[in-house]
């Protein structure tokens, strides 16, 4: 990746990612100052691995109905593949369901507070 502001992120939320008023379930990605060819390559790479119907909303792509996973090893492998394929640094953020503010603040998982995010959604 080139440029000071050029970056993208790949994510999955357990309860879906907002798309207009309804959540879309599946792998999603966002992009900022990324050339269209790179966005198209990222979309094709993810769709080839996970399937799903490709939808766009502003600077976000959604693979509606794609395969979902939360296995740590699979996440690490995907992060490494993305880093190598797109020559980009990788940063992982993990969501914890039903994590209390006190648990996050006390660094119960030995992660920086900004990397241990609560999962929004129904209880």
Give the mean pLDDT per block of 10 residues along the chain (123 residues).
Answer: 76 86 92 94 96 95 91 89 91 74 71 62 58
- Residue 85 Cα distances to 1, 46, 54, 96, 109, angstroms: 10, 12, 20, 29, 30
**Do 16 and 49 share a structural domain?**
yes
pLDDT at 91: 81
Q: Are 60 and 34 in contact (CB under 8 A)?
A: no
Number of domains in the chain: 2
pLDDT at 103: 73
**Do 100 and 81 share a structural domain?**
no
**Do 66 and 14 share a structural domain?**
yes
41 in a structural domain? yes
pLDDT at 31: 93
**Do 122 and 65 share a structural domain?**
no
pTM attached to this predicted model: 0.78
Strand ranges in the chain using DSSP code E only, listed in sequence order = 7-11, 17-19, 22-24, 28-32, 53-57, 60-64, 94-96, 116-118
**Do 80 and 47 share a structural domain?**
yes
Domain encompassing residue 102: 96-123
**Do 105 and 73 share a structural domain?**
no
Give the Cα-Cα-Cα angle 116, 85, 87 (nearest 5 degrees).
75
pLDDT at 63: 96
2 in a structural domain? no
Q: Are 36 and 78 in contact (CB under 8 A)?
A: no
């Amino acid at each position: 990746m080139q440029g000071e502001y050029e970056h993208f992120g790949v994510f999955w939320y357990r309860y879906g990612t907002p798309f207009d008023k309804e959540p879309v379930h599946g792998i999603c990605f966002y992009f900022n100052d990324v050339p269209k060819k790179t966005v198209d390559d990222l979309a094709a790479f993810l769709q080839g691995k996970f399937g799903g119907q490709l939808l766009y909303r502003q600077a976000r792509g959604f693979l509606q109905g794609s395969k979902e996973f939360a296995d740590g090893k699979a996440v690490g492998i995907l992060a490494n593949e993305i880093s190598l394929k797109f020559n980009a640094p990788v940063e992982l953020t993990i969501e914890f369901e039903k994590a209390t503010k006190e648990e996050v603040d006390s660094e119960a998982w030995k992660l920086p507070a900004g990397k241990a995010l609560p999962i929004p959604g129904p209880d």
